[in-house]
Amino acid sequence: MSKEMGVVVLGLLVVITPYLGVPSGWRAGLLLLAGLGIMLLGFLLRGEQLSRAVRPTEHLPFVDNTKKSTSDVEHGA
């Protein structure tokens, strides 16, 4: 199961837990574990996103313009 799908499943568990009729102690435990799971998956997904981010390189993909010589300026080029 992908991490994204894990977040969806745990979120669904959080939504339906109050309607399952489980005792309040179990409900609190389930919600606590689901919340911790969502937090863990969120941190893992954030780390993956940061590792895929575009990082600036030392070699830029363009060349700076050069100064025009005085002869080009005089001839209107």
Domain that holds residue 38: 3-52
Global confidence as pTM: 0.63
Quick check: is 71 in a domain?
no
For residue 27, give the nearest of 37, 16, 38 by alpha carbon.
16
- Number of domains into which the chain is organized: 1
Three-state secondary structure call for residue 31: helix
Quick check: is 60 in a domain?
no
Quick check: is 75 in a domain?
no
Quick check: is 17 in a domain?
yes
pLDDT digits (tens), the chain, 77 positions: 898 999 999 999 999 998 989 899 999 999 999 999 999 999 999 988 888 877 666 666 676 677 766 665 566 55
Quick check: is 41 in a domain?
yes
Quick check: is 66 in a domain?
no
Burial (CB count <10 Å: 0-12, 13-18, 19+), residue 7: middle
Quick check: is 16 in a domain?
yes
Quick check: is 69 in a domain?
no
- The contacts of residue 17 (CB under 8 Å, 6+ apart) are 27, 30, 31, 34
